[in-house]
Amino acid sequence: MKTDLLTRRGARRLAAVCSALGALAVTSAALAPEAAAVDVQSKEWYLDAMGAQDMWKISTGKGVKVAVIDSGVNPATSSLKGQVLVDEVPKSVAYHVTQDYDGHGTSMAELIAGTGAGGGIKGLAPSVKIIPFRIHTSGMKDAEEISKTPDEAEAIRAAAGTDAKIINLSLGGIAPDDAVKSAIEYAASKGKLVFASAGNEGNKGNLPSYPAAYPGAIGVAAIDKSGTVGKFSSYGNSVDLAAPGLNIPSWCDGTFTEYCDSQGTSPASAIASASAALVWSAHPDWTANQVLRTLIDTAGRSWPKNKPSKYLGYGGIRPRRVLINKDINPGPASVDPLAVENGTSVTPAPSAKSPSGKPTKEAGSSSGATSAAAKDSGSGDSTQTWVIIGAAAAVLIIGGAGFAVLRARHNA
């Protein structure tokens, strides 16, 4: 990208977006989607681990819309045909939202809502509809394209004004931005759940990642099929939950001809968003606070809930546990379950009570995983614990250091 093409928003966006657009690691041989349906979907190990078949008997996400703020979403892939609501994107931010130069945003949309048709990715919530937003400037050709593409804050505010109940931000960077912080608080006040990737800097200095570190954002760490946190997954006060994020299929690039294995907290955020959509679809009268509270209460962990892990927050997300419990108590509608971490008393408005009523890649993606039982100066616990994440047979290891560390402020 040439700096002489930047407009009035360019300087700020360049710093934030370049930070957010570290390469998502692709680590295995590519798979041609039209010819490899079984191969691609067999790589979606987390569907079995989370008990997807059992969950889909109760909820597939029908009636819920998710705003995907990313590199754009290609609605023409076999898995997304009929899933993307381009007409619901506000006109002010609708410029070329379906032009995805690198495939990242399309991959996140498929992980959430893909139907699996034509050999594509099967999303965790295949009846969800996607409202696409494009903010990334990577690969954009000229000054007009850059100037007409909204920045992150503009896109979040626009998404907050749609019928999307959930906003997915599979992006992040180390540079804070007051406008983005304010936009996320605004979205939360409108009754939206905002999931954000925790960041991929865990083994590269572990600087705070934004927007995950802002109040109102739910930071999601990445775990592998054994339940172990990825060594790249950023840790600290901004981690609220964990979700699968290693060895996840995604588009290799923006040609949409092959799938590759990928890893990062980007797919973890998308899978968390899909999890929330399953729950909200089954309980359309719940508020964002209630959906999030039940996901926190049922998260897989072996440490006290009031002492979140700095690696995994409240634990591995388990929407199945919410869906199968007909007597689950969602708690008060207007109380933020992350009020302590957020350092705020902001309570979402009841604007998202029902579906009918009238939300990128990160820098420094890396491979491999490391036990969360790495030494934590704030805890003497360095053992590994066994936690069931999804179906009864899916037992995953989650490391144990940091489990006695009570987080203070969400964006400390």
CATH number for the domain including 96? Answer: 3.40.50.200
Residue 123 lies in a domain: yes
Average pLDDT over residues 123-142: 91
The neighbour count for residue 306, using CB atoms within 10 Å, is 8
Residue range of the domain that includes 229: 25-399
Higher pLDDT, residue 346 or 213 = 213
pLDDT tier for residue 358 given thresholds of 50, 70 and 90: very low
Range scoring the smallest mean pLDDT among 194-198, 231-235, 249-253, 365-369? 365-369
Our count of domains for the chain comes to 1
What's residue 344's pLDDT?
Answer: 62
pLDDT tier for residue 342 given thresholds of 50, 70 and 90: confident
What's residue 238's pLDDT?
Answer: 95
Residue 18 lies in a domain: no
CA atoms within 13 A on the CB side of 329: 2
What's residue 132's pLDDT?
Answer: 98
What's residue 384's pLDDT?
Answer: 26
Q: Please say whether the beta carbons of 315 and 333 come within 8 A.
A: no
What's residue 136's pLDDT?
Answer: 77
Total-model pTM: 0.82
Higher pLDDT, residue 390 or 75 = 75
Residue 152 lies in a domain: yes
Instruction: Tell me the pairing of strands 248-251 and 259-263.
Output: antiparallel
pLDDT digits (tens, 9 = 90+) for 267-297: 999 999 999 999 999 999 999 999 999 999 9
The answer to whether residue 28 scores a pLDDT higher than 70 is no
From the list 266, 281, 365, 371, the catalytic residue is 266
Average pLDDT over residues 18-43: 51
Q: Give me the chain's average pLDDT, please.
A: 81
Residue 407 lies in a domain: no
From the list 19, 59, 70, 371, the catalytic residue is 70
pLDDT tier for residue 405 given thresholds of 50, 70 and 90: very low
Determine whether 182 is an active site residue.
no
Average pLDDT over residues 24-43: 55
The answer to whether residue 135 scores a pLDDT higher than 90 is yes
What's residue 125's pLDDT?
Answer: 99
pLDDT tier for residue 366 given thresholds of 50, 70 and 90: very low
Average pLDDT over residues 190-212: 97
Residue 345, both tokens: 């008393």
The answer to whether residue 137 scores a pLDDT higher than 80 is no
The CA-based diameter of the chain, rounded to the nearest angstrom, is 59
Average pLDDT over residues 240-245: 98
Determine whether 96 is an active site residue.
no
The answer to whether residue 369 scores a pLDDT higher than 80 is no
Q: Please say whether the beta carbons of 295 and 325 come within 8 A.
A: no
What's residue 412's pLDDT?
Answer: 29
Average pLDDT over residues 379-393: 33
Residue 204 lies in a domain: yes
From the list 71, 100, 104, 336, the catalytic residue is 104
Residue 404 lies in a domain: no
Average pLDDT over residues 68-83: 98
Residue 4 lies in a domain: no
Determine whether 356 is an active site residue.
no
The answer to whether residue 411 scores a pLDDT higher than 70 is no
What's residue 374's pLDDT?
Answer: 34
